[in-house]
A and B are shown apart, each in its own frame.
Chain A
Amino acid sequence: MTPVVLQLLNGLSFAALLFLLSSGFTLTFGLARVVNMAHGAYYLLGGYIGLTVIGLTGSFVIGVLAGGVAIALLNAVIDRFLIRRTVGQPLMQVLLTIGLVYVIAEVALLIWGGNPIRVPTPDWARGPIELPGGIFYPRYRFLLIVLGAVVAIGLWAFYRLTPIGAVVRAGVDDREMVSAIGIDIGLLFALVFALAAFLAGASGVLGGAFLTLYPHAEWDTLILALVVVIVGGLGSLEGAMAGSLIVGLIDAFGRWLYPEAAAFLMFGPMALLLLVRPQGLFGRAH
């Protein structure tokens, strides 16, 4: 029984990170149809900035916030001057943001060097905690699960229960209508973009303490985020939740039970799902 619970927790902690990583990606797409391939590069850069700030302040929390805020600001500039000029042209958007990946990754390499660096976990998150049933589990991962759940519920409540959330959803369905009833859709977009970029940057710091920061993480992380949103359905918050859980749990149980098939654990189920439901679990055809 214990190993099953442990794998469940492993799956959940990975899923929590995947959700933090991919929710921003899917939100921006849902609202503005923006595909940002630089999402993985945001993660990496946010992680490095957080790492430096933690080194300066000694505070993990400030590091996470700094990573998030820095990326939100950077994204505001990038969105204003670059991405906005490619609205409605997904192809151009993809190429533009891939160009950004090259630039951001090389700049990060020049500043932080190429050795893998782990973001240090704070003292209060180190060591194991004892869960009911005498199961010991790393505290940091446990906290990550809690944080993932809190952010997921928070985003869901924002999305489903607040007036702003209603507008965001309306913005997804019918942009003209939203503009017609006099809501400043520009401000709304800016808000959601900032939130999404913040999540990417902050998840870099949180993930850096889990998966380590290293050159090429910009691509590896992007692919993880893409698999999650493909499974869940692009643009859907519920989809990002479901996708994260599915990918996280398959990864944990799959590697444990069928280590031989590890190469296909990520992409195999995704390919199968596509046969049945090409738009993903919660996606709508577009």
Chain B
Amino acid sequence: MTGCKACMAAAFVAGVFGASAVSADAIRIGVMLPMTGGLAQSGLDARNGFELYWNQVGNEAGGREVEIIVADTVCNPDNAINAARRLAFNDEVDFLVGPLCGHEGPAVAQVSGETGVPLLLVPAAADSQTKWDRIPTVIRTGFSSSQDAHPFGEYLYNELGLRNVTFLGQDYSYGQEKTLGAVATFEALGGTVDEILWAPLSTTDYAPFLASIPQGTEAVVPVVVGVHRNRFIETWFDFGYDRQFDLIGLNLLQADALVDMDDRVVGLISVAQNYSQGIDTPENQAFMDAYVEAYGMIPSYFAEMMFSTAMWAHEAIDSIDGNVEDRDVFLQAVRDTEIVGPRGPLRLDDYDNPIQTTYISRVERVDHPTLGSVLMNVPVASFPDVSQFWTWTPEEFLERGPYTR
């Protein structure tokens, strides 16, 4: 009886402490995403995209097995920092991937800097992390907030022929960086910004805001996130603003918002982003088909970004025959690797931020073979090889400082 108690205790100890003990020769990847709380769905999309890729390649890279360990960050930096340390020290991962929320980025990057565990920063987009606050062990495989906004500002002026526009920006870091990025290039060409209306994250009703749109303005350009997209759209059509102004979305209707939309939004310019579900390439077609088959829904850009990141890591690991233990070698391999993902060709600039295509999307109703009739973003314009510095030199951009109100 006592003997059995001892063996039960041993089993218990093994269960608690051995849970994270894995086969020594597997490559371990620590993924940090919000799995609970307000951004849980985005976190789930991202995780799905990541796992989809690794499943496709049989969870293998550089001749070694690949093991993925996911940690919940709750979109809270305090949790994120602990999650990163737990992955680094308890699970002894070879490198980290994530996080999702902008303010978690610096927290996780700091742990990477402290410990030397490489971090593939994605999808968190804060501009500063590949500009003013770079850390040698951190490579971004997602995008910088203002990156897609720069070509969009020129698109407004050159392609759409707009001269007087009003911006409606979400009043927090990401919203400010994306809004002011487009303002900068639009004004540089000679465009006039009639007004920038800043909507706090606590905004419940958009009707009072929209009443402040100046009369003579030609178009309204919203940069709104999360639930604010739904609220904005509803108010826009309810109050008949669609009959008064053009609506040109810079950050308005990504795939996850389209789920809840109807045909009123068909034909709208919806978003400028490094991905558009309607990209017509074999890479994207294969990704879309596989994702829809696996999860029964259209992939969000979070899913694509994590899928490409997995592909990027995979090819980098292959190129060094799985020697991820040598961190410098691994980081250099990621820097040297160029891939063609669903979102197009990807390579890094000298500041470890991807040079990639910016797609400007329009909402269309598409007949999907398995999902039936769905709303989807389809590119209407694309700007290849967009750098985070756009046409400025890095020195000029860094000298000018971050986009902030």
Contacts and interface: CB of A to CB of B under 8 A. Distances in A.
Contact of B212 (A220, A224, A256): A256
Contact of A224 (B39, B171, B204): B204
Interface string A110-138: 00011111100000000010000000101
Interface of B: 36-42, 44, 171, 197-200, 202-205, 207-209, 211-212, 226-227, 229-231, 234, 238-240, 256-257, 259-260
Contacts of A255: 203, 205, 208-209, 212
Interface stretch (A89-97, A171-179, A210-218): A210-218
A262 B231 contact: no
25 contacts: A3-B211, A6-B211, A7-B211, A10-B207, A10-B208, A10-B211, A13-B205, A114-B38, A116-B229, A116-B230, A118-B230, A118-B234, A128-B238, A138-B238, A140-B238, A141-B207, A210-B205, A210-B234, A212-B260, A214-B227, A220-B204, A255-B203, A259-B212, A262-B198, A262-B199
Contacts of A147: none
Given A114-B40, A140-B238, 15 more contacts: A10-B208, A10-B211, A116-B227, A118-B260, A128-B240, A141-B238, A210-B234, A214-B38, A215-B37, A215-B38, A252-B207, A252-B208, A262-B171, A262-B202, A266-B202
Given A3-B211, A259-B212, A252 B205 contact: yes
Contacts of A217: 227
Contacts, number: 105
Contacts of B204: 14, 211, 220, 224, 251
A10 B198 contact: no
Given A251-B205, A256-B211, A116 B37 contact: no
Which of A114, A140, A220, A260 counts the most B-chain CB atoms under 10 A from its CB? A114
Interface in A3-20: 3, 6-7, 10-11, 13-14
A259 B211 CA distance: 11
A215 B256 CA distance: 14
Contacts of A106: 36
A211 B260 CA distance: 13
A263 interface: yes
Nearest to B43: A114
A136 B260 contact: no
